[in-house]
Amino acid sequence: MVVLSSIFDQFYPDTFFFIPISFLCLFLNVFWFLFLVSNSWLGGRFQVFWSSFLSFCVSLIFQTTSSGTSPWGGVLIVVFVFILSINLLGLLPYNFTSTSHVSLTFSLGFPLWLGVNIFGFYSSFNSRLSHFVPQGTPFVLIPLMVWIETLSFFAQPIALGLRLAANLTAGHLLIFLLATTVWSFINVYYLFVPLFFVFFLLFVLEIAVACIQAYVFTALIHFYLQENL
């Protein structure tokens, strides 16, 4: 019988030789980039796959872009691959999904949002201020619209960090609860087989969610860039 103390215990990182698992997982997500560097002028299969993957990411993220956002392409691709690797590696056993914690998602989202807006206000201050009053707003509603647009403006980093953490947390909770249920009925074959099939489908769905959330996070940063440039 499985004893479930708290469904949120899976989001508390254990330690390995007195080192938090979260640090080890973050290091793993960065360390594997070293294997992508090849000294040979003729890349192997992995380098060819990596180049094709990067080309696909660039075409996916920069579907609608402008010349002003092109210098940010390297930063956005690194952010996308970093979040994607954390999301996918977090689905493996004995791993830890750091992006399910708002501390990491806000640490990524807020500096990027702040840097984009500082650059936008620095390059075109008057144009950025005009966004707080939509065109055609009646004179009487201008103070109200300024308050609404200001609240919407400062809600952007909150939504950016919470969206990623909330979606991954919800998916991991569902996987954890269903896995516990499957393990409880492991000796009841007529229930174990359909439950395991549902668990497999949910796991495939969570892989898709991990990819989509990495794309949504990066696409929002790109959208904020386009607003400021």
pLDDT in tens, 13-22: 555 555 665 5
Q: Give me the pLDDT at residue 44, please.
A: 66
Structure tokens at 176: 């954890």
**Range 71-74 contact pairs with CB under 8 angstroms and sequence separation of 24 or more:** 72/222, 72/225
pTM, full prediction:
0.74
Q: Is 180 helix (H, G, I), strand (E, B) or coil?
A: helix
CB 214, CB 54: distance < 8 Å: no
CB 117 within 8 Å of CB 47? no
161 vs 166: CA distance, rounded Å: 9
Residues 6+ apart with CB under 8 A from 83: 99, 108, 164, 213, 214, 217, 218
pLDDT > 90: what percent of the chain?
Answer: 0
The residue among 73 and 113 whose pLDDT is bigger is: 113
Tens-digit pLDDT profile for residues 124-171: 777 777 777 777 777 777 778 778 878 888 888 888 888 888 888 888
